[in-house]
Amino acid sequence: MIKPHGSDTLNPLYVADDAKRVALLKEAESLPSLLLNSAAAANAVMLGAGYFNPLTGYMTLADALSVCDSLKTSSGLFWPVPILNVTKESGVKKGKLALRDPNVEGNPVLAIMDVQGVEPVSAEQLSAMALQIFGNVDPQHPGVATFTGLGNTVLSGPIQVLSYSYFEEEFPGTFRTAVEIRDEIAKRGWKKVVAFQTRNPMHRAHEELCRMAKERLNADGIVIHMLLGKLKDGDIPADVRDACIRTMVEHYFEPNTVMITGYGFDMLYAGPREAVLHAVFRQNMGTDYLIVGRDHAGVGDYYGPFDAQTIFDDKVPEGALKIQIFRADNTAFSKKLGRVVMMREAPDHVPDDFIALSGTKVRAMLGAGIAPPQEFSRPEVAKVLMEYYQIADAAKA
């Protein structure tokens, strides 16, 4: 199986030993505590689950600036996006600190941090980093707005993770750590594995893209890996996406060819940089390829359609990652050929030869109880989405 990023073995920061974890939770009661923001909490969950191997905790400001500038930490580790704990709280001291979860009622302890650095970060530094991470500093960009509003103090140091926040309880059949996915891949006997990233329900084109990648790479299986954390307003909730994907896989994929999993992270909408981060943690979970499609991890029109592919040529040094990417174009149903194709592979087609629907039109159809054409969305999946949109529209009325 492919090795993790930056080490020979995976280094999850979750304290798996029950007795040790209980003792640390008891110790946390006597420690000063900090209520995290959602971004820092998501980083803790990803560190705990092994996805951010080989990091041992939150980055220093110097590491963050280095990552933004050169995609390397100060020590030379290849890394695409800073993993930070930035806070608005003043007066945090070095030493042990209980980190509390902002996303669970009662704010239970999520992790214990050994705070080794407490550094001021200026608005100018945050803006400069945002420009490098997101390619812009537009306050309307959801990732920029979140990042620049986190606070003015960077806390750095190793952490011991004591909880996976709400993800285990709310998504018990879907949330999986990098360790668990590696174990499942081995159990299934898969030797070559493809990962598919999604924050959306999977329509017919996504389904066929996964199938194309599996067949062309001669892979044994596909890990559909969905984001379960926070999204921007208007995105479809994780439980609905989960139901759609499970319905699609159950009806249209052969047994033991697809693993449905999810991870506890908030969407960054960082386009190319986030695509590289996606590759890093898919390598950590044991997959050999990541499908990178058009406007991967993008939002609005902030990124070029294939910037998330070309960054692997322009900014990722040879050998920095062991995982490879499968480069995908727009996929759509060809009326000429009677099947889903990558548009670049149908040079004899004109736009009218494809069934292409805008997201706005599809949402309007679903909200009205009208299923999109079967060439666009499987009827079983459309049914799940129609029920969601009708309930959502009724709640707004």
pLDDT band (50, 70, 90) for residue 237: confident
Query: 397 near 389, Cβ under 8 Å?
Result: no
Q: Which of 139, 168, 197 is the last residue of a domain?
A: 168
Residue with the two structure tokens 């640390």: 24
Concerning whether 363 is annotated as a catalytic residue, the answer is: no
In this structure, the answer to whether residues 157 and 246 fall within a common structural domain is no
For the stretch 102-139, pLDDT in tens is: 999 999 999 999 999 999 999 999 999 999 999 999 99
Identify each DSSP E strand in 132-257 by its residue range.
153-161, 193-198, 221-227
Number of domains in the chain: 2
Concerning whether 199 is annotated as a catalytic residue, the answer is: yes
CATH code of the domain in which 107 resides: 3.10.400.10
Is the link from the previous residue into 172 a cis peptide, with omega within 30 of 0? no
Identify each DSSP E strand in 138-210 by its residue range.
153-161, 193-198
Q: Which of 115, 134, 168 is the last residue of a domain?
A: 168
What is the spatial distance between Cα 378 and Cα 178, in angstroms, rounded to a whole number?
30
In this structure, the answer to whether residues 216 and 286 fall within a common structural domain is yes
Q: Tell me which of 136, 152, 188, 199 is the catalytic residue.
A: 199
For the stretch 3-40, pLDDT in tens is: 999 999 999 999 999 999 999 999 999 999 999 999 99
In this structure, the answer to whether residues 163 and 179 fall within a common structural domain is no
What is the spatial distance between Cα 299 and Cα 53, in angstroms, rounded to a whole number?
27
Q: Tell me which of 107, 136, 200, 330 is the catalytic residue.
A: 200
What is the spatial distance between Cα 132 and Cα 291, in angstroms, rounded to a whole number?
24
pTM over 0.75: yes
In this structure, the answer to whether residues 140 and 279 fall within a common structural domain is no
Is pLDDT at 357 greater than 80 in this prediction?
A: no
Is pLDDT at 246 greater than 80 in this prediction?
A: yes
CATH code of the domain in which 197 resides: 3.40.50.620
Give the pair of three-digit tokens for residue 102.
């902002």
Task: Tell me whether residue 65 is in a domain.
Answer: yes
Look up the domain containing 156 and give its range: 18-168
| Partners of 395 in the β-ladder | none
In this structure, the answer to whether residues 160 and 205 fall within a common structural domain is no
- Please spell the DSSP secondary structure of 72-91, one letter per residue: B-TT--B-SS----EES---
In this structure, the answer to whether residues 345 and 281 fall within a common structural domain is yes
pLDDT band (50, 70, 90) for residue 360: low
For residue 297, the 8-state DSSP code is T
Task: Tell me whether residue 298 is in a domain.
Answer: yes
Q: Which of 138, 168, 198 is the last residue of a domain?
A: 168
In this structure, the answer to whether residues 158 and 302 fall within a common structural domain is no
In this structure, the answer to whether residues 103 and 186 fall within a common structural domain is no
What is the per-residue burial (b if ≥16 Cβ within 10 Å, else e) of 134-168? bbbeeeebbbbebbbebbbbbbbbbbbbbbbbbbe
In this structure, the answer to whether residues 183 and 295 fall within a common structural domain is yes
